[in-house]
Amino acid sequence: MEIITAILEFLRDVFSEPALLIGLVAFVGLIALKSPGHKILTGTLGPILGYLMLSAGADFITANLDPLGKMIEHGFHITGVIPNNEAVVAVAQEILGVETMSILVLGLVLNIVIARFTKYKYVFLTGHHSFFMACLLSAVLGASGLDGVVLVIIGGFLLGAWSSISPAIGQKYTLKVTDGDEVAMGHFGSLGYYLSAWVGSKVGKPEDSTENIQVPEKWGFLRNTTMATAITMVFFYLLSAIVAGPEFVSTLSNGKSPFLFAVLAGLKFAVGVAIVYAGVRMILADLIPAFQGIATKIIPNAVPAVDCAVFFPYAQTAVIIGFVFSFIGGVIGMVVLGFAGGVLIIPGLVPHFFCGATAGIYGNATGGRRGAMVGSFVNGLAITFLPALLLPVLGELGFANTTFGDFDFALLGIIIGQVGNVLNMTGILAIVLAFLIILIVPSFFKTKSAALNNYESSSSETRGM
């Protein structure tokens, strides 16, 4: 049993490292294409190094968002629950470690099986999000009374199924974002992004893209995304530092001048974004060609589903707009919860940056600048109210002072948890049956593409026509 546990822990560690997962996929694809040895080496290392660069940038962003969040909490006297996936998973590993890693391994295998034998040809490559979802499923299924092998089998199936279904749901929007580049959304904030795209299509026009905003010549430097991000974030940090007061900020700055600390934190945030962009370019340069080997030889017509940050370069102005308006939605949602007497969900800057930015990109693809603003605002409201509703169904994890922050985690957790609490095993099996029907039925119908929804209805609908 100890050997099996050790193997499962090793596989969990490998498959929860997106850099290694993406590198492995590139390696298999290049082997399938019978590429020469030097191309296999560079084509495998490229995506690994690119993802490590993306992760380094994301870590840099996260580290510099932490003091900003603390300044906002102190300055505006806010206390409550802060949604953060990493924090809640860290707590969960003390309670649900074996169940989580077992669900993770089974879910990853089933995602490949589903991609091979159904029209859901999407291979989910964001390993850490698979790990987070495995943790959520182990929590809500355990709270519904499941345990042991049954919990692992059902949790693994739900993880594999949702990893295949969620990219397909909004692939028509993703193709608009990427101008037809065949990648899919592999991130469990996906339903929020698709909602933003749908809202964007109702409130704006794609030709009014955020990337076409006219900037006077003297302000032309703002077209440089890194410069614009730096100026925007320095303003946010300085404002928060002023409200929090120099005495409190000094506790965060390790003796450095409080306002100098705020300025440098804002600039470092911009550097983190620039690193993310560089990493994304490196990933796509090697991953997409290598993935053709998998798409042609192993899983015909397979589509890689990748992290949300991979989409940032497609609409860089929308990234900042999405973050700002998602955060505004989070603040308003928090106020509404306060007046309603509910659990106060403090806007977590990490989910509002990454999910809000991506919602802005999707809203922009269908509704231009107005779509980016309104779509990301709606996303901000959603990732405030949904985590509040999720807390009661998390079982033992519900007592932690945090919760999952992204749309899919919250919505699936609420549905599975509530159905399990009310209908017990019968309700859980009904959800499993529904997922099976969704996976199998498209195989009996003719679709426009081998991979479900992987087409653009017409070239005139692409962004910026």
346 has pLDDT over 60: yes
| Residue 216 dihedral angles phi and psi, to the nearest 5° | -55, 150
> Among 55-59, 86-90, 236-240, 245-249, which is the least confidently predicted range?
86-90
Give dist(CA 75, CA 72) in Å, integer: 5
- Secondary structure (3-state) at 407: helix
Tracing tokens 């590993």 back to the chain, one arrives at 93
Using the Cα atoms of residue 271, residue 85, residue 383 and residue 74 in order, give the sign of their dihedral. negative
Q: Cα–Cα distance between 257 and 262 in angstroms, integer?
A: 9
Polymer length in residues for the chain: 465
Map tokens 């000094």 to a residue: 250
What pLDDT digit, counting tens, does each position of 366-389 carry?
999 999 999 999 999 999 999 999
Report domain extents, the chain: 2-454
**Cα separation, 296 vs 294, whole angstroms:** 6
Nearest to 193 by CA among 47, 317, 363: 363
Give the separation between CA 463 and CA 358, rounded to whole angstroms.
15
The residue behind tokens 């609420």 is: 414
Residue 106 structure tokens: 């089974």
Residue 192 has a pLDDT of 97
pLDDT at 168: 97
Place of tokens 């490590």: 52
pLDDT of residue 89: 74
Residues near 28 by beta carbon (within 8 Å), at least 6 away in sequence: 293, 294, 298
DSSP 300: T
Q: Mean pLDDT across the chain, nearest whole number?
A: 86
- 267-288: per-residue pLDDT in tens? 998 898 888 878 877 887 887 7
Nearest by Cα to 12 from 161, 189, 156:
156
pTM exceeds 0.95 for this model: no
